[in-house]
């Protein structure tokens, strides 16, 4: 990387440069206001069994807990 973006050659030997672009983390919906597109927020190591909700938070799937109580 040259500090301004990525540089590479395409299949024809032409130099291509891509500028770095900052992509914000998504903003989740709150039930009144729509969210905004962006990168998924990084999960913590302990979030490995959670899923990302539309409000932008990582949460445990409670149905798995309920099912295990009934079995």
pTM: 0.54
Q: Domain range holding 63? A: 5-70
The total number of structural domains in the chain stands at 1
Q: What's the rounded mean pLDDT across residues 57-70?
A: 71
Specify the pLDDT at position 13: 79
Specify the pLDDT at position 65: 59
- pLDDT tens-digit map of 1-48: 334 566 777 788 777 777 777 889 999 999 999 999 999 999 999 999
Per the model's pLDDT, the better-predicted residue between 29 and 61 turns out to be 29
Q: Which letter, b or e, does each residue of 19-38 get, where b requires 16 or more Cβ atoms within 10 Å of its Cβ?
A: eeeeeeebebeeeeeeeeee
């Amino acid at each position: 990387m040259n500090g301004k973006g990525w540089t590479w050659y395409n299949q024809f030997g032409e130099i291509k440069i891509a500028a770095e672009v900052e992509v914000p983390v998504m903003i989740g919906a709150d039930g009144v206001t729509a969210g905004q597109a962006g990168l998924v927020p990084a999960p913590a190591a302990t979030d490995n069994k959670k899923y990302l909700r539309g409000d932008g938070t990582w949460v445990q799937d409670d149905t798995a807990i309920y099912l295990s109580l009934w079995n």
